[in-house]
Amino acid sequence: MKYIIKKLFMMIVTLLVVSICVFLAFNIIPGDPALRMLGTEASPELVEQTRQEMGLNDPLPVRYGRWLFGFVQGDFGTSYNYKIPVKDMVISKVPITLTMAVMAFLLTILISIPLGILTARHEGGLLDRILMVTDQIVMSIPPFFSGILITLIFGMVLRLFTPGGFTNYTVDVGKFIRYLFFPSLAIALPKVAMTVKMLRGSLLDESMKDYARTAYSRGNNTNGVLYRHVLKNAMIPVITFLGMALADMVAGSIVIEQVFSIPGISRILMTSISNRDYPVVEAIIMGIAMIVISVNFLVDVVYRIVDPRIGLEE
Amino acid sequence: MNSYKKAIHKNFKENTFFRWGCIITVLILLLVVVGLFWMPYEPTAMNAAEKLKGISLRHPMGTDNMGRDVLSRVMYGSRITLLIAAGTVAIGTVAGTIIGALTGYFGGMLDEIIMRIIDALFAFPSILLALVIVSIFGIGWIQLLLALGIAFVPSFARIVRGEVLRCRNMDYVENARLQGVSDFRMIFVHILPNIRGVLMSSILIGFNNAVLAEAGLSYLGIGSQPPYASLGKMLSDAQQYMFGNPSYVLCPGIVIVLMVLGFSFLGEGISRWK
């Protein structure tokens, strides 16, 4: 419990540091937000009045406090370009991006753990060598290119889905999930490759240790040693990696959404960046950072449950 | 030196990963180096008569939607991609090493503060960090280089800090300290050369990540602007024509894959050095 509280405290500190960095980054940029909202034709009086209304004349720490307070309460500011609350722009897109990330995560686990065990069991054999080379190649394919390849193979040659035929979850959840399967696969592939390699190495390391030999000499067969003893220990580094991977997948979906023309968070983020619509960019970046940091916290807690030794060492 | 040559020769013969890593990397470097002196066509020269042609003798990688030769564009694009990746790793390594070495060596309050910030940045996916920087400084390849460079600092700083912490209490450092070596000399002359192995492997991994990140970001349209294009931008331009002319999208994509694959095979080969 003490460990969890300590980690929770660290998470809050990290979140505060991130929020300060993000806030500072977007507030030291040259250019007057009031002028941006009103356009360059606006009269100086009107600009001054708007500055007053937006609270831009207050000192930086006051503005930071107000922004943070608003953020915690779910007020993410107002878009410069569309003059509507950022929340309204973003909220309906969140499920799309999150569904994709979670699906990619599940795919990673479902594919990589059996494959990792398989290669480790056939260490040095033909199957292992083929899988390891394939693994290395898959790792080198950037997700957006594997997205393009998947579209070519599954969309054009096999006709399993219609490229660009995205259906929103409000219309048909089944079709929504089916369409998202392929982008999720594209996000998952490089992570699958990394997880397989890691699990293989970890399993081989663990199986060399004394406890594995003891388990053998007590009459366990290979499966018994593997599933009842070695696998549990071998999973520990893999769990940390998977946690980081899940966080990465949320960010990685930005590129993949563009590849499969999915109208998720990414499209808003990219247009807002090129339009310099800072409140939107700020809110989305903070949102993703919050998800990433919370996931890392959860991984720490899970880690602790899987391996009680960790708390004792600190 | 001779034994060094022999070891490379031996590994080239027996170490499959190292051999293929060398071959692929040399091929890619050849593509870039030849491109410096000679390209089959001007990469920006348009030819309305030869739009979206497939693979042929005249155009080994086909042509794009404006009739430009894809091979020439790939040659030019891989030069940009390699340059940005190399620059990114250079910024990340130099800044990361200095920050990591100083914080690890001196410790104390400053270390606490800097490491908190580094941790926070580390928790931040590098693609997002780069997007923040690009949205502040604008779009272009210099901004992209800067953005990626900064995004790569935390991981290098962490690695170097950990290594310096490990070395700080070793006997040879203690010995040098007794001889009255200054802190500056201690860090850069005594400790850093001892962690070069770890640094080398993280540079190789970092280089791959930089190529992938550059490709991803220029795919999103951040980075070098038309008419010149890096490989990622070419892919996003080509994507809408992929059903009519797959070679236009496949060629730059395969070059990116080979670039990353070559370096990861090299890294894998070095880790299995015989």
Confirm whether B152 is domain-assigned. yes
* Positions in chain B whose pLDDT score sits under 70: 1, 123
Top residue of B257, B259, B268 to mutate, by most chain A CBs within 10 Å, is B257
- Determine, yes or no, domain membership for B40: no
Q: Is residue B62 part of a domain?
A: no
- Residue A70 tokens, joined: 């608003």
**What is the tally of structural domains in chain B?**
1
B35 touches B255 (CB < 8 A): no
- Which of A148, A249, A270 should be substituted to probe chain B, the one whose Cβ sees the most B Cβ atoms within 10 Å? A148
CB burial class (10 A; 0-12, 13-18, 19+) of residue A69? exposed
Question: What distance, in Å, lies between the first and last C-alpha atoms of chain A?
Answer: 14
A268 pLDDT above the threshold of 50: yes
By mean pLDDT, which of A9-13, A16-20, A78-82, B79-83 is the weakest? A78-82
For residues A190 and A28, the model is more confident at A190
Inside any domain, residue B47: no
In a domain, B57, yes or no: no
pLDDT at B258: 93
Measured between beta carbons, which residues in chain A are less than 8 angstroms from residue B122? Answer: none
Distance, in Å, from the CA atom of A141 to the CA atom of A63, rounded to the nearest integer, reads 43
By C-alpha distance, which of A145, A153, A183, A150 is closest to A266?
A183
Q: How far, in Å, CA of A279 to CA of A289, rounded?
A: 15
Cβ distance B124 to A292 less than 8 Å, yes or no, reads yes
For residue B55, is it within any domain? no
A289 min Cα distance to partner chain B (Å): 6
Residue A314 has pLDDT above 60, yes or no: no
Query: A4 in helix, strand or coil?
Result: helix
Contacts of A277 (CB under 8 A, 6+ apart): A79, A80, A81, A82, A271
Mutate to test the interface with A, among B129, B135, B136, B234 (most CBs of A within 10 A): B135
Within 8 A of B219 by CB-CB distance, chain A residues are 142, 144, 255, 258
Sign of CA dihedral A280, A285, A286, A292: positive
Predicted confidence (pLDDT) at residue A216 exceeds the cutoff of 50: yes
Quick check: A258 and B125 CB within 8 A? no
Residue B2 C-alpha, separation from nearest chain A C-alpha, in angstroms: 32
* The pair of three-digit structure tokens given for residue B197, joined into one six-digit string: 């192995």
The letter for the amino acid at A54 is M
Tens of pLDDT, residues B33-84? 988 888 787 777 777 777 777 777 777 777 877 778 888 888 988 998 899 9
Domain that includes residue B138, residue range: 17-30+71-271
Going by the DSSP 8-state scheme, the letter that residue B186 receives in this structure is I
Q: What gap in Å lies between CA B236 and CA A151, rounded to an integer?
A: 13
CA distance A227 to A111: 17
Provide the whole-model pTM: 0.84
- Inter-chain CB pairs, A–B, below 8 Å: 119
- In this structure, which amino acid lies at residue A85? P
Cβ A28 vs Cβ A278: under 8 Å: no
Minimum distance, in Å, between the CA of residue B33 and any CA atom of chain A? 22
In single-letter form, the type of residue at position B189 comes to: V
Residue A141 has what DSSP assignment? S
B184 burial type by CB count under 10 A (0-12 exposed, 13-18 middle, 19+ buried): exposed
What's residue A311's pLDDT? 55
Q: Which of A17, A26, A136 sits opposite B120 (nearest CB)?
A: A17
Pick from B178, B117, B131: nearest CA to A282: B131
What's the CA gap between B100 and B105, in Å, rounded?
8
If one counts every other C-beta atom within 10 angstroms of the C-beta of residue B196, the result is 11
Taking CB atoms and an 8 Å cutoff, what residues of chain B touch A150? none
Chain A residues with beta carbon closer than 8 angstroms to that of B208: 140
Can you give the pLDDT at residue B1?
A: 57
Interface check B147 vs A, CB under 8 A: no
Q: Do B253 and A247 touch (CB under 8 A)?
A: no
Using CB atoms, pick whichever of A137, A143, A293 lies closest to residue B123.
A293
User: Confidence band (pLDDT; 50, 70, 90) for A193?
Assistant: very high
Does B195 map to a domain? yes
In a domain, B256, yes or no: yes
What are the beta bridge partners of residue B63? Answer: B69
